[in-house]
Amino acid sequence: MNELTDWQFRDARTVWHPYTQQQDWLSDNPLVIERAEGVWLTDVSGRRYLDACGSLWVTTYQHADPRLKAAVSRQLEALDHSTFFGATHTPGIRLAERLVELAPSGEGDDRRLTRVFFGSDGASVVDAALKLAYQFSVQSGRPRDLILHLENSFHGDSIAASSIMGGRQSQSTYGPLLLNTHRTTSPAPADGLDPAQAAARALDDLERVLADCHQRCCALIVEAMIQAAGGMLPYHPSFLQGCRELADRYGFLLICDEIAAGVARTGQMWATEHAGIVPDIMLCGKGLTGGVLPMSALLTGDHVADAFTSPDTTKTFFHGHTYAANPLACAVALENLAMAEELDLPAVARAKGAVLGALLEPLAKHRAVRDVRRLGVMTGIELAASLPRAGFRVCAAAQERGVWMRSLGDVLVIMPPLAITEEELAQLTAVVEASLEDVFGG
Ligand SMILES: *Cc1c(COP(=O)(O)O)cnc(C)c1O
């Protein structure tokens, strides 16, 4: 037995993987990764794979970045972990200050995101945001328990986050456990509508829903500018502007989930900046530490936080995660944000995204491709799926050719680390094209 298959067998005996039917696991020939550097992953048998999805959207710039590694080592010498419950620490304070400085500020909107609550992964701050929005409504004297979300949305896999998932398997499987929420139309282009029309239709539908239920609605949660796990579906910024206006008109909180799109990859530091609005609550996660350590953060403004500051202890926000604001994660997030500024990563995402877009242009005409969509480097290639598991099969073919990709159903996802060179982008798109031929025939 070679080394790879030995590790695969050991894995299959003991490990249970996320979103994985273990029955098929071994026959799907999973990669067993041992090292990573730049945009390349290396498996236990020494084969290299281009990491086309930034290790599921976390690797902002590159693997094994010397600055990020040095930041973790320095912090490890000083302080490994110390709790945020009842005490604080310097890397946590610094990171909160930095996030507030970097937070979006809209023109003509004096709302500012001035307060940071740390979580440990994306779903933990999604839960925090929903509890916060509900409690805010109660403490502002207008108790409201309904949360609105969008079709095609994804906000994580906790029970609360599963309750605001836009119509996927887990909603039917876990239905009886979920919160009472209401789903409204996605602003992503569909049914022959262009982006502006699709955004207008979604806003009309949202307004109609609100006409019925605005007195019960405490929050609307949306993925900023692109519905990522729903199939890489970018939408028109007028939708976010309309949501901002409706939130102000009806007095609910607008929560922008930037967990996938935040930190440069859409071509702006925060995706909401494409729309020039300031949400009431902003969530970030995935790319915050550049892909080194799990960490997430919730940002909100004084207009929300003030309702929690009171001599009445029942007005406390009763939420917290043990590893929140882990000092190593804070230190590496600070360094990652410094890199984002110094290397102007939003501009890098715009430039590399444009190169990727040009390289993919011929593919858009491929008979097996229905649509190619992109915002910055966040890219989806929707297959005209005439085969079962078409997305998976193209990814498996790409793996044979040295590219690691993951599909969302029939959508191939490309979201490379921003250090990828133009040469590597060309290599990547050539492999995607060859893999389509492998699966759909020449
Ligand atoms: C991945 C994701 C989450 C959940 O983050 P986890 O760290 O997996 O809990 C939430 N929202 C969006 C938009 C995401 O893409």
Average pLDDT over residues 36-45: 97
**Using CA atoms, how far apart are residues 286 and 205, in angstroms rounded to an integer?**
31
Same domain, 317 and 414: no
pLDDT in tens, 324-364: 999 999 999 999 999 999 999 999 999 999 999 999 999 99
- Whether 154 is in the pocket of ligand 1, judged by its Cβ within 6 Å, is yes
Per-residue pLDDT at 100 exceeds 80: yes
User: Which pLDDT value is given to residue 180?
Assistant: 86
Same domain, 328 and 391: no
For 285, phi and psi rounded to 5 degrees?
-160, -115
CATH code of the domain covering residue 46: 3.90.1150.10
pLDDT in tens, 262-298: 999 999 999 999 999 999 999 999 999 999 999 999 9
Contact 97/114 with Cβ under 8 angstroms? no
Same domain, 164 and 274: yes
**How much distance in Å is there from the Cα of 256 to the middle of ligand 1?**
12
Contact 412/389 with Cβ under 8 angstroms? no
Same domain, 271 and 141: yes
Substitution candidate for ligand 1 out of 56, 125, 126, 259 with most atoms within 8 A of CB: 259
Same domain, 288 and 434: no
Diameter of the chain measured on Cα atoms: 72
**How much distance in Å is there from the Cα of 381 to the middle of ligand 1?**
21
With respect to residue 10, please indicate whether it lies within any of the assigned structural domains.
no
Same domain, 138 and 53: no
Same domain, 221 and 337: yes
- Whether 280 is in the pocket of ligand 1, judged by its Cβ within 6 Å, is no
- In the chain, the percentage of residues whose pLDDT exceeds 90 is 93
Atom of ligand 1 nearest to the CA of 56: 1
Average pLDDT over residues 411-431: 98
Same domain, 130 and 211: yes
Structure tokens at 369: 């491709």
pLDDT in tens, 301-326: 999 999 999 999 999 999 999 999 99
Substitution candidate for ligand 1 out of 154, 235, 378 with most atoms within 8 A of CB: 154
Same domain, 306 and 348: no
For 185, phi and psi rounded to 5 degrees?
-60, 140
User: Per residue in 381-401, is it b (16+ CB within 10 Å) or e — as a string?
Assistant: bbbebeeebbbbbbbbbbbee
User: Per residue in 327-336, is it b (16+ CB within 10 Å) or e — as a string?
Assistant: bbbbbbbbbb
Q: Determine the straight-line distance between the first and last CA of the chain, rounded to whole angstroms.
A: 34
User: Which pLDDT value is given to residue 18?
Assistant: 94
Per-residue pLDDT at 2 exceeds 90: no
**Using CA atoms, how far apart are residues 96 and 82, in angstroms rounded to an integer?**
16
Average pLDDT over residues 67-76: 98
**How much distance in Å is there from the Cα of 63 to the middle of ligand 1?**
20
Contact 108/276 with Cβ under 8 angstroms? no
Q: Are strands 181-184 and 146-150 parallel, antiparallel or unpaired?
A: parallel
- Whether 228 is in the pocket of ligand 1, judged by its Cβ within 6 Å, is yes
User: Which pLDDT value is given to residue 110?
Assistant: 86
CATH code of the domain covering residue 125: 3.40.640.10
Q: Helix or strand or coil: residue 398?
A: helix
Domain end residue (candidates: 342, 367, 382):
342
- Give the structural domain span for 299: 70-342
Atom of ligand 1 nearest to the CA of 296: 7
Contact 135/308 with Cβ under 8 angstroms? yes
**How much distance in Å is there from the Cα of 415 to the middle of ligand 1?**
15
User: Which pLDDT value is given to residue 171?
Assistant: 73
**Using CA atoms, how far apart are residues 382 and 367, in angstroms rounded to an integer?**
11
Same domain, 333 and 405: no
Per-residue pLDDT at 170 exceeds 80: no
Give the model's confidence band at 168: pLDDT under 50 very low, under 70 low, under 90 confident, else very high: low
The number of helix segments (H) and strand segments (E) in the chain equals 15, 17
Ligand 1, atom 11, lies closest to the CA of 155
With respect to residue 377, please indicate whether it lies within any of the assigned structural domains.
yes
Substitution candidate for ligand 1 out of 58, 265, 286, 289 with most atoms within 8 A of CB: 286
With respect to residue 349, please indicate whether it lies within any of the assigned structural domains.
yes
Mean pLDDT (the chain, rounded)? 96
Same domain, 55 and 120: no
With respect to residue 384, please indicate whether it lies within any of the assigned structural domains.
yes
CB contact set of 389 (below 8 Å; sequence gap of 6+): none
**How much distance in Å is there from the Cα of 53 to the middle of ligand 1?**
14
Number of compact structural domains in the chain? 2
Number of alpha carbons in the 13 Å side-chain half-sphere of residue 412: 35
User: Which pLDDT value is given to residue 238?
Assistant: 98
Domain end residue (candidates: 322, 342, 362):
342
With respect to residue 20, please indicate whether it lies within any of the assigned structural domains.
no
With respect to residue 18, please indicate whether it lies within any of the assigned structural domains.
no
With respect to residue 17, please indicate whether it lies within any of the assigned structural domains.
no
pTM passes above 0.95 = yes
Same domain, 353 and 256: no
Per-residue pLDDT at 442 exceeds 70: no
- Whether 123 is in the pocket of ligand 1, judged by its Cβ within 6 Å, is yes
Atom of ligand 1 nearest to the CA of 223: 13
Give the model's confidence band at 60: pLDDT under 50 very low, under 70 low, under 90 confident, else very high: very high
CB contact set of 192 (below 8 Å; sequence gap of 6+): none
Average pLDDT over residues 180-184: 93
Average pLDDT over residues 424-439: 97
Ligand 1, atom 6, lies closest to the CA of 122
Residue positions in the annotated binding site for pyridoxal 5'-phosphate?
Answer: 122-123, 257, 321-322
Q: Helix or strand or coil: residue 164?
A: coil
Domain end residue (candidates: 297, 323, 342):
342
Q: How far is CA 126 from the centre of its chain?
A: 11
Atom of ligand 1 nearest to the CA of 294: 7
**How much distance in Å is there from the Cα of 379 to the middle of ligand 1?**
17
